[in-house]
A = this chain, B = another copy of it.
Amino acid sequence: MTGVTTAAAEPAEPQPDAPTEAGTEAGTAKPRRARGEQTRQLILETALRLFRERGYAETTMRVIAKEAGVAVGNAYYYFDSKEHLIQGFYDRNQAAHHAAAGPILATEKELAPRLRGVLHAGIDVNAPYHSFAATFFKTAAEPTSPLSPFSRESAPAREAAIAIFREVVDGSTAKLDPELRKELPELLWLGWMGVVLFWVYDKSPGQRRTRRLIDGAVPLIDRLVSLSRLRVLRPALRQVLALIETVRKDD
């Protein structure tokens, strides 16, 4: 849970401003008025609830506004577009994934189970939103969208996600090539994006095919990572790393 969640049972309390301005929230300035933040949260909560209840496309901005008891234009004062409401969902699930991964990362020390646990935790967290996620995935896929996982706007969220996989690697007992170790977290995150992609398309009951994919792919990755220390595979590994380097240039 982030500290932002609750829909505030308390009326705006004399909490005028924290000792430090500590406005680590998304971008915009953080003046002393808390009233706006309350409205913002109200709109976001309402929107996410409606998305879950009736789906993204079926939830109109007018309904969100009406249900939240504000004018439609007010929603646009806080969120640039309907899509931007999704960012809230995004951030929240990101945090939930991190929290859910905690226990496994604290317990397990071997690479494979760590990775497996983190991946399953990610699916667990997202499971309740599978049908909704499918529709909103569409907007996230648009390259020009700020919601794209590769966009500059979602860089913080992306970094946070990669950090989870860095913890998977760094906290493990696995011995691996130092250069590979450096790149592995991002590669694993990329793999995770692939799993999510697969999951979004997975129509099997309970998305069990995705579970099977994870269970099958993790040992494979584990094996490949181990094999990468073999002499025969050294040039191939170098080739992979060089490719990553080359492709990454001028972005």
A positions within 8 Å CB-CB of B = 134-135, 137-139, 141-145, 148, 150, 200-201, 203-204, 209, 212-213, 216-217, 219-220, 223-224, 227, 230, 232-233, 235-236, 239-240, 242-243, 246-247, 249-251
Contacts and interface: CB of A to CB of B under 8 A. Distances in A.
B247 A212 contact: yes
Closest 8 CB pairs of A and B: A141-B141, A216-B243, A138-B142, A134-B143, A143-B201, A213-B247, A220-B239, A212-B246
A194 B210 CA distance: 19
B217 A243 contact: yes
Contact of A209 (B141, B233, B236, B249): B249
A213 B248 CA distance: 9
B227 A236 contact: yes
Given A135-B142, A200-B143, A232-B232, A223 B247 contact: no
A134, A135, A142, A230: most-surrounded residue (chain B CB, <10 A): A142
A209 B249 CA distance: 8
A209 B250 contact: yes
27 contacts: A134-B142, A134-B143, A135-B142, A135-B144, A137-B141, A138-B138, A138-B139, A138-B142, A138-B145, A143-B201, A150-B201, A203-B251, A204-B250, A204-B251, A209-B249, A209-B251, A213-B243, A213-B247, A216-B242, A216-B247, A217-B243, A219-B239, A220-B240, A220-B243, A223-B236, A230-B232, A232-B232
Contacts of A134: 142-144
Contacts of A204: 250-251
A230 B227 CA distance: 13
A169 B201 CA distance: 28
Contacts of A150: 201
